Structure 1
Amino acid sequence: MGSSSSKPEASQSSHVWKASSPIGVSNEVVESLQSSSETDTSRAQSLELAVQARVASELRKLEAQESALLKAAQEKIASAVPDAKDEAADQQRSRQAVSKEVEALRARLDKRKQLRPVPESVELARGEVVKCLMEHDRRPLDCWKEVEAFKEEVRRLEKGWVDKVVS
């Protein structure tokens, strides 16, 4: 195993097949095959050329189909697009409509900008936190009581607002 070469020797240029039983092919066919100058390489080349020709014809056919579909789509789009005059009028109308909508939104926003004054209890708690932080600028953690009081006031204010909105 492995002691012999896997390639045929160069001295053998032709292959002769010798059957152990009689051949079921006529002598004429055998003679025509033996006398043929066609080799494996030439058969492979002719097969490759035939495949390439078929692929090229199929590609041409597909290109023709795709170009027809593209042309139809372009015509459909062209028919759907309005004329330039109509487009300019629509653009002018839409520009006016958009500016009216923007003005209406601005007016609504201006109405909503009404800030309510903060209740005095929240303002006092905030002032206490600021005062404590100013006094203990090196130790801000000493102001935890004031911060908790401020948080409680804010919670109370938020709860009142939520109750008002929900009911």
Structure 2
Amino acid sequence: MGSSQSKGDGQPMVFVNEENPVPVRVSTAFVKQLQQTQPDEGSRQDIENQVRQRVQAELARIQTEKSSAVDTTHVGYKSTTNANAVVTEQELDQLAKHAPTKHIKVLPDEITKAQDALILCYKNNPERSLDCWAEVQEFKDLVQKAQNAFIATV
């Protein structure tokens, strides 16, 4: 029972995707070739050891670069500290000049109160938000009034 499925009988294997019924055939020769090309456990260990050695070597190289960089900065620390501070300050000034300024307008009290009333109504009626139609209309009217006033001043 099932022994004929595990033995290669020379017949190609056929796979059918149920969603897209296009048969895919794989010959036993191809399957055998794939099985032969898989690395055995010993070569996997060799590959893993090589990767570990390379990672260790790279980490050691980075550590030596860091330590040499730290040594060179400590030697000329006092002479470069002032120059670095000046350059940093200049860069910050340039960034501050080019940064967009954000104008925050304070809403009128009546709009803030209407907004708070609307939010409170929504919180009190989470299942029946349509019951807040009066608060919505009041808020919309106040916002429209403020927009018209702003357009008139421009």
Q: Would you say same fold, with TM above 0.5?
A: no
Which structure dedicates a bigger proportion of its chain to strand? 2
- TM-score, with structure 2 as normaliser: 0.36
Greater length-normalized contact order (CA 8 Å, ≥ 6 residues apart): 1
